Amino acid sequence: MTANKKVLLCGGGNAIHVLTAYIGSLPDCDVLVFSSFPGEADRFREALPEEGITCTNDLGDDMIGKPVKVSDKAEEIVPGADVIILAIPSFAHELYLRLLAPYVKPGVVIGAMPAEGGFDLCARHVLGADFVDQSNIFALETLPWACRIVEYGKTAEVLGTKVEIDFVMTEGPGNNAECMSLLQRLIGRLPELKPACNFLAVTLMNINSVWHPTISYAFYRNWDGKTPFDEPPLFYYGADEYTGEKLAKVSDEVLAIRTAIQEKYPDLDLSSLHHVRDWMLRSYGDDIGDKTNIHTMLITNKGYRGLTHPMMKVETPEGTKYTPNFGYRYFSEDIPMGLCVTKGIAELAGVPTPNMDDVIVWCQEQMGKEYVIEGKFVGKDITSTRSPQTYGFTDLHSFLEANRYI
């Protein structure tokens, strides 16, 4: 009799609730949940009903599943895991990989959803190149669904399931097709996992790192920096024509990086890297009312309706107002683990990125960080990013070769 697959979920947020219900409902899988956040494992375990977590789904695929173990101690929950999924903020990836490292076995299937940029660089740095080459490291470009916790440890809800998303996996000892098939079972029948070329393509195609910082930069470009808003402004539906044009220009620069690399390495496949315009059409299709340009697609996409800028409440003599939350993941993740990774690769490839620089410079000012100075990626905080420079790469060839892109 074949033993059940041991699937270790790292984290305790929205996606972990959904995955626990999904995977826990599979008869051939045992779910384990590991959270290092103080008190979270106890809270999760104590809240669990006897039957497990119930997850309602927009597709009608409601699931109930229960973990066999929940712990904050890596030594008692990591050994023997066959699959490890990090569904946590990208800034916590390195912390969790370091906690896993002493107990994880070579040959494991391990990855992140979503990965943001440079996840494979981080994994090689923490786990070691030999370990990575003996294992199957994977990444999903984004979460499979828009989801939320309804009641902690008890119920979750999938509000919207994507149709398809990009997936990438290193060439490890396991059969990649079998590994992808397994991961497809773990996340549900949709979205369909579509193989991307390689980790480099996924890093450069990181839609969040283009989307969120650029839209924020464009929206606040004329704000005085102090006047609060009467209500949270619409994020996508509040975009203007300038926003669409800036998104197009930043995406043009990402494609220029692709072109520069492929001119030097014509056998390197980066075909899964697309312009944001094409990504929108592929991801949302008929949900978009007006496909004329990026601006019109943003403000007529049903999937974006009602979504607002991340804000903080402030009390004023006129009542409750709202100010921007520049500590939100649109900044704390999408800059150091996203756009800065792309900028670092652009530096190695010798590609100027003036529009990307505009966005990074504005964002770093809001964050109190320094990454780009006069168009150069030389700021004092670049070591806190997942850029190639953080891991010691100073030339394009060494970067591509050491990370098995060529």
- How would you write 346-362 as a 3-class SS string? HHHHCCCCHHHHHHHHH
- Two tokens at 94? 């390195």
Terminal C-alpha separation, the chain: 41
Fold of the domain spanning 5-195: Rossmann fold (3.40.50)
Range list for CATH 1.10.1040.10 in the chain: 204-402
Average pLDDT over residues 71-82: 97
Distance CA 388, CA 403 (A): 10
Average pLDDT over residues 246-271: 97
Active-site residue, selected from the candidate residues 17, 212, 295, 309: 212
Distance CA 31, CA 104 (A): 16
Residue 173, pLDDT above cutoff 90: no
- What confidence tier does 1 reach under pLDDT thresholds 50, 70, 90? low
Average pLDDT over residues 220-245: 96
Range list for CATH 3.40.50.720 in the chain: 5-195
Give the pLDDT confidence of 323-340 residue by residue, as tens digits. 999 999 999 999 999 999
Least confident of 35-49, 184-198, 277-291, 355-369: 277-291
Give the pLDDT confidence of 290-318 residue by residue, as tens digits. 999 999 999 999 878 888 999 999 999 99
How much of the chain, in percent, has pLDDT values that exceed 90? 83
Predicted local confidence at residue 171, as pLDDT: 80
Does residue 225 come out as left (phi exceeding 0), alpha (psi in the -120 to 50 range) or beta?
left
Phi, psi of 175 (to 5 degrees): -70, 120
Among 194, 161, 192, CA closest to 63: 161
Fold of the domain spanning 204-402: N-(1-d-carboxylethyl)-l-norvaline Dehydrogenase; domain 2 (1.10.1040)
Is residue 212 annotated as part of the catalytic site, yes or no? yes
Residue 281, pLDDT above cutoff 70: yes
How much of the chain, in percent, has pLDDT values that exceed 70? 100
Q: How would you class 103 by CB atoms within 10 Å of its CB: exposed for 0-12, middle for 13-18, buried for 19 or more?
A: middle
Please tell me the pTM assigned to this model: 0.90
Give the pLDDT confidence of 359-400 residue by residue, as tens digits. 999 999 999 999 999 999 999 999 999 999 999 999 999 999
Least confident of 144-153, 174-183, 284-293: 174-183
